């Protein structure tokens, strides 16, 4: 099976390169050819898609979300992080049954795909039973999207789990699911926050993840209050503490990383770690502004800065999954805080959402021989035309609703702005009803 996409503007593996008009040939699950201009007449293919006035770019990587929160939208308004977590989110999570999780995740995945994501890192916070987690993986497998499920855990405080249960379930998931669905599903170790995790379980889960080639993904340095809690308990700031435990490496994702010392930035760069930047959640919860421009700049004595990927965070603290909106917010935030109009040019912003996210998660890029994970954007719209600069239009004009087609692993998952293989209206109706019952059961309605 092969598909030719022709007459598209191409934003290939390096987001600095734009081909105004070109073609891409997909054979089975891989990109077989990329070229400028019209395709050569000798090119053989089964199907063709004309992409005049459309832009083809690498699949976007949503580097951090919690899709079970799709049933928890709207609770973050005017609440601090800790009030919001303790009085709303943790209660709702504790009341979810496996069917609630399945529906919330399916709706969340559909929203994420409509927002341009071909890879989604879901920091899954409802691991109350194996079933509560398996339904997430089954939903991703059914829709065909690429999923990194970071198995969340905390062995201290509210909803704490025993270290034995955390390790056993993480091992089960790694054995049964890591690399499943033709490699589209990955499992990750997902400690929730440093102040709710014991050093021993942090070390053991990271060691287990490393044995399986899996990453570790944790909320770090999100608010000043959290940094102070770790300093009080350990005498070290959170990134310093994690470094002292041997947890940092190219396989480590620091989610948020808003409040960082110079030493912590150096440590992240030294270990080749990734920062997952979530600008909307940082603004809604009044956490602060992550120093992205500084993180991306080469650190003293090093050729490169820190790898920074982009995430939406969960629907409860965002309240959406649109990666185009995240690109725009990431650019605005750095401009206004650095007072530098040159900060975060469009190519750099697109890199956060594509190649940097792909680097962090092992997802494909847009190059010949790579798995075909692509997004086709409809640029034939009043809020986009006329186009002066393709990259600037992607960052400043495009919206999730412009995603016309989504391809993952060579499979067309969205076409003509429709998610294939499910009745979206019926899903929305079912979720609407289910979420009302959940809020009543949890005592937050
Ligand atoms: Zn989060």
Q: Hey, where are the domains in the chain?
A: 2-58+366-419, 60-361
**Helix (H) or strand (E) segment spanning residue 322:** none
How many angstroms separate the alpha carbon of residue 297 from the centre of ligand 1? 25
**CA 66 / ligand 1 centre spacing (Å):** 6
Which segments within 130-197 are labelled E, that is strand? 146-153, 185-191
Q: How far is the CA of 330 from the centre of ligand 1 (A)?
A: 16
Q: 79 near 34, Cβ under 8 Å? A: no
Cα 420 to middle of ligand 1, angstroms: 28
Distances (CA, A) of 92 to 27, 76, 88, 182: 44, 13, 6, 34
Rounded to a whole number of angstroms, the CA Rg of the chain reads 21
The alpha carbon of 409 and the centre of ligand 1 are apart by a number of angstroms equal to: 27
- Alpha-carbon distance of 322 to 327, in angstroms, equals 9
**Ligand 1: centre distance to CA 255 (Å):** 7
Coil, strand or helix: which one is 227? helix
pLDDT score of 256: 98
* Residue 183, both tokens: 């490699």
Q: What is the CATH number of domain 2-58+366-419?
A: 2.30.40.10
CB 137 within 8 A of CB 177: yes
What residues have CB less than 8 Å from 429, skipping those under 6 apart?
A: none
Predicted pLDDT at 76: 66
Assign 3-state DSSP to the chain and report helix, strand, coil percentages, each to 5.
40, 25, 35
From first to last of the 445 residues of the chain, give the pLDDT tens digit.
899 999 999 998 665 689 999 999 999 999 999 999 999 999 999 999 999 999 999 999 999 999 999 998 877 667 777 788 888 888 898 899 999 999 999 999 999 999 999 999 999 987 778 999 999 999 999 999 999 999 999 999 877 999 999 999 999 999 999 999 999 999 999 999 999 999 999 999 999 999 999 999 999 999 999 999 999 999 999 999 999 999 999 999 999 999 999 999 999 999 999 999 999 999 988 899 999 999 999 877 777 799 999 999 998 777 789 999 999 999 999 999 999 999 999 999 999 999 999 999 999 999 999 999 999 999 999 999 999 899 999 999 999 999 999 999 999 999 999 999 899 999 999 999 999 999 999 988 7
CATH ID of 60-361, from 1.10.3300.10, 3.20.20.140, 3.90.550.10, 3.40.50.360: 3.20.20.140
300 CA from centroid of ligand 1 (Å) = 30
Measured in Å, residue 95 CA sits from the centre of ligand 1 at: 19
- Intrachain domains 2-58+366-419 and 60-361 with the same fold: no
Structure tokens at 123: 């920091």
């Amino acid at each position: 099976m092969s598909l030719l996409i022709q007459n598209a503007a191409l934003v290939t593996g390096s987001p600095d390169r734009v081909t105004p008009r070109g073609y891409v040939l997909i054979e089975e699950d891989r990109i077989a050819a990329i070229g400028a201009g019209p395709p050569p007449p000798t090119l053989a293919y089964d199907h063709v898609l004309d992409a005049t006035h459309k832009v083809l770019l690498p699949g976007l990587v949503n580097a951090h979300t919690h899709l079970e929160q799709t049933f928890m939208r709207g609770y973050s308004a005017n609440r601090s992080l800790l009030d919001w977590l303790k009085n709303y989110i943790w209660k709702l999570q504790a009341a979810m049954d496996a069917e609630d999780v399945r529906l919330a995740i399916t709706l969340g995945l559909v929203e994420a795909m409509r927002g341009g994501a071909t890879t989604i890192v879901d920091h899954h916070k409802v691991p109350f039973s194996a079933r509560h987690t398996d339904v997430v993986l089954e939903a991703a497998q059914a829709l065909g999207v690429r999923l990194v499920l970071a198995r969340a855990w905390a062995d201290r405080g509210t909803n704490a789990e025993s270290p034995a249960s955390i390790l056993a379930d993480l091992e089960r998931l790694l054995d049964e699911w890591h690399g499943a669905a033709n490699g589209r599903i990955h499992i990750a170790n997902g400690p929730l926050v440093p102040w709710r995790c014991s050093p021993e379980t942090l070390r053991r889960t990271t060691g287990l993840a490393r044995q399986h080639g899996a990453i570790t993904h944790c909320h770090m340095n999100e608010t000043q209050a959290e940094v102070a809690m770790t300093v009080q308990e350990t005498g070290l700031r959170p990134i310093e503490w994690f470094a002292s435990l041997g947890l940092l490496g190219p396989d480590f994702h620091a989610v948020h990383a808003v409040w960082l010392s110079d030493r912590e930035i150096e440590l992240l760069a030294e270990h080749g770690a990734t920062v997952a930047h979530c600008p909307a959640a940082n603004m809604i919860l009044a956490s602060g502004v992550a120093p992205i421009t500084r993180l991306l700049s080469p650190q003293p004595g090093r050729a490169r800065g820190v790898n920074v990927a982009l995430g939406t965070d969960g629907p409860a603290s965002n309240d959406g999954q649109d990666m185009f909106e995240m690109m725009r917010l990431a650019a605005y935030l750095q401009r206004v805080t650095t007072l530098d109009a040159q900060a975060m040019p469009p190519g750099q912003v697109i890199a956060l959402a594509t190649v940097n996210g792909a680097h962090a998660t092992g997802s494909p890029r847009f190059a010949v021989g790579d798995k075909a994970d692509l997004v086709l954007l409809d640029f034939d719209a009043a809020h986009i035309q006329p186009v002066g600069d393709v990259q600037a239009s992607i960052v400043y004009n495009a919206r999730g609703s412009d995603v016309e087609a989504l391809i993952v692993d060579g499979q067309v998952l969205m076409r003509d702005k429709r998610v294939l293989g499910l009745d979206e209206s019926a899903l929305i109706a079912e979720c609407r009803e289910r979420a009302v019952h959940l809020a009543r059961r949890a005592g937050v309605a």
